[in-house]
């Protein structure tokens, strides 16, 4: 089973570096057939310069493990473009936010699909990709391959390049746990132009509490476990990533689209299904959209 990595973003480039180091059979599908030469700097300081081999969609053969470490809003366009060339491949979605699973399943209902959450800390500056911290990954199947050997091979490969990695029979609670954190840290740091750690300051606590309470109410309404852990988990992440700037902060700073529709926007859609109002999350969603415009 060959690995195909879609894109040369920070995480995609990090996965390519790990494939290169481990000697795994892989190729990268870029926006064009001309890929960047990557200068990889591992957390321990090891360096590696390499040029991944390019792959075009029409060159897919059917036995690939396709990894999409993209922005959430890039998933549907990417999968739509790949659809004419997909047969029996296995696919992994690896991004912030939620909502892409249903989009992909509607497009490709029979394709084996895995969902992932990663805490890999990677900074990409032009062609230099630096591993700034060691974080694990959590994976789970939305639809496992019918062939047991294919499933085991996919799990082995993903566990190798996303190490430390843990597989779960139910990935949704972990997705919601991360979503609850992202829905506070990402928009607030983007709007106030601050690092994650600055959210620990007193002036943000009332707003954070209101946001946490809205998420907890929604999770309880959806019977998602872990609502009571949101405040402590959020405080832990703010402390652990104090010097970091969130991805949404960076997107807003550099005038790029954000994943707000798949983070706070996803919360609003789920709340609407239950007839709940999330005024504080709605306000953040509106402000990020206004900032983007």
Q: Which residue, 210, 155, 161, 158, is CA-closest to 188?
A: 210
**For this structure, is 269 an active site residue?**
no
CA distances in angstroms from 231 to 132, 178, 213, 226, 252, listed in the order given: 26, 12, 9, 10, 25
Cα–Cα distance for residue pair 233/206, rounded to 1 Å: 17
What lies within 8 Å, CB to CB, of 29 at 6+ separation is: 4, 5, 6, 7, 54, 55, 56, 57
Q: CB atoms < 10 A from the CB of 202, how many?
A: 6
Q: Residue 33 is encoded by which pair of tokens?
A: 């057939």
Give the three-class secondary structure for 101: helix
Neighbouring residues of 150: CB distance < 8 A, sequence distance ≥ 6: 1, 90, 112
Please state, in angstroms and rounded to a whole number, the distance separating the CA atoms of residues 115 and 94: 7
Q: What is the DSSP string of 69-128?
A: ---HHHHHHHHHHHGGG-SS-EEEEE-SSS-HHHHHHHH-TTS-EEEEEE--EEEEETTE
The phi and psi torsions of 129 (rounded to 5 degrees) equal -120, 115
Residue 42: which residues within 8 A CB-CB, separation 6 or more? 17, 48, 131
Q: What is the rounded distance in angstroms from the CA atom of residue 289 to the CA atom of residue 292?
A: 5
> Catalytic pick from 83, 178, 269, 287?
178
Catalytic residues: 178
């Amino acid at each position: 089973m060959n690995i195909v990595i879609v894109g040369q973003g920070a995480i995609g480039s990090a996965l390519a570096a790990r494939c290169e180091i481990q000697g795994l059979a892989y190729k990268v599908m870029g926006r064009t057939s001309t890929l960047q030469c990557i200068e990889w700097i591992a957390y321990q300081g090891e360096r590696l310069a390499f040029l991944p081999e390019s792959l075009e969609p029409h060159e897919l053969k059917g036995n690939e493990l396709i990894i999409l470490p993209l922005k959430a809003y890039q998933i549907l366009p990417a999968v739509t473009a790949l659809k004419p060339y997909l047969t029996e491949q296995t696919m992994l979605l690896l991004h912030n936010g939620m909502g892409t699973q249903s989009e992909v399943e509607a497009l490709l209902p029979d394709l084996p699909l895995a969902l992932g959450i990663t805490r890999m800390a990677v900074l990409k500056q032009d062609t230099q990709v630096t591993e700034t911290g060691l974080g694990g990954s959590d994976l789970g199947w939305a639809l496992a391959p019918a062939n047991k050997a294919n499933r085991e091979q996919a799990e082995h490969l993903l566990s190798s390049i996303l190490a430390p990695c843990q597989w779960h029979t139910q990935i949704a609670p972990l997705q919601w746990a991360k979503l609850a954190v992202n829905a506070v840290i990402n928009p607030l740091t983007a709007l106030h132009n601050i690092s994650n750690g600055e959210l620990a300051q007193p002036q943000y606590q009332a707003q954070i509490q209101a946001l946490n309470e809205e998420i907890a109410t929604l999770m309880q309404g959806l019977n998602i476990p872990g609502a009571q852990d949101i405040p402590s988990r959020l405080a832990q992440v703010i402390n652990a990533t104090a010097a970091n700037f969130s991805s949404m902060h960076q997107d807003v700073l550099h005038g790029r689209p954000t994943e707000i529709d798949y983070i706070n926007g996803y919360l609003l859609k789920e709340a609407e299904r239950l007839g709940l109002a999330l005024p504080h999350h709605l306000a953040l969603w509106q402000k990020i959209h206004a900032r983007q415009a």
